[in-house]
Amino acid sequence: MNNIITLKKISKSFSNNKKISVLKKISYSFSKGKIYSIMGPSGSGKSTLLNILSMIDKPTLGSLSISNKEINFHETVKNDTTRANKIGIIYQQNNLLSDFTALENVYLASLAMNNNKKKSIEKAKIIIKKMGLSSREDHYPSELSGGEIQRIAIARALINEPDILLADEPTGSLDQSTAKEVFKILTNLKNKTRLIIYATHNRFFANMADCKLEMIDGNIKTINERNKKFNI
């Protein structure tokens, strides 16, 4: 079976004087080896869905299974380990540590998994080189451009070789030209075993995915699937 993530009747509500239902009984399966885009206006639930997929947030109702294992959202330590091992996350606000260099930001994610420091640094250098940023690895985030920061964020997300890559508006703060470069890197990370899901409000970038989904009234609808390679 190719499904790596399965949602069953996932609902998410928030209470602030009155109940607000953001996600409504979503059932969907995501397959490995594919790239999915999720479109929808601000407030449609894209980020909420990604937060549940990454186990950062828990649903009000419904179940999430990763690699055919249902997630118990009360087992926070176990879920933290699963997230660190299986999931790479790229945020719109890159969340790089400002007091650490680009290289340190990347390899610290590996050290968090109790990996050997020397091997973690070597691995981080290789990934940063693939991002075309070897000459910038000793620079701090404040010394990097927006596009460079996002490439370092991608490198950090890749350091533990995740099966699942989640990106929430990864180019939302970038100009169109830089955003294209970042998305080209992101789509080139596709392989037979990796699942990539990204949320975007940009229809051009949404069309680059193998499967384009749209958040509509708290649920997700498949807009189209394609088999041909998309060229930027």
Average pLDDT over residues 74-88: 93
- 7-21, 55-69, 128-142: which range is least confident on average? 7-21
Residue 51 pLDDT exceeds 70: yes
pLDDT reported for residue 100: 97
For residue range 113-129, list pLDDT tens digits in order.
889 999 999 999 999 99
Per residue, the 3-state secondary structure of 14-67, as one string, reads: EEECEEEEEEEEEEEEEECCCEEEEECCCCCCHHHHHHHHCCCCCCCEEEEEEC
Q: Which of 16, 5, 93 is nearest to 49 (CA)?
A: 5
Q: Residue 90: enclosing H or E segment and its boundaries? A: strand 87-90
Q: What is the pLDDT of residue 222?
A: 82
Residues 172, 126: contact at Cβ < 8 Å?
no
Looking at residue 55, what is its pLDDT? 96
Of the candidate CATH numbers 3.30.2140.20, 3.90.1150.10, 3.40.50.300, 1.10.490.20, the domain formed by 3-66+75-225 belongs to 3.40.50.300
Q: What is the pLDDT of residue 45?
A: 92
**Confidence class for position 173, pLDDT limits 50, 70, 90:** confident
Domain residue ranges in the chain: 3-66+75-225
How does residue 95 score in pLDDT terms, banded at 50, 70 and 90? confident
pTM, to two decimals: 0.91
The band of 16, judged by pLDDT with boundaries at 50, 70 and 90, is: confident
Calculate the average pLDDT of the chain: 91
In this prediction, residue 226 carries a pLDDT of 63
Q: Which sign does the torsion angle of CA 88, 101, 98, 77 carry?
A: positive
**pLDDT, greater one: 61 or 227:** 61
Residue 230 has pLDDT above 70, yes or no: no
Residue 229 has pLDDT above 60, yes or no: no
% of the chain exceeding 70 in pLDDT: 96
Confidence bin at 231 (pLDDT 50/70/90): low
Q: Residue 137: is its pLDDT beyond 60?
A: yes
Q: What pLDDT is attached to residue 227?
A: 56
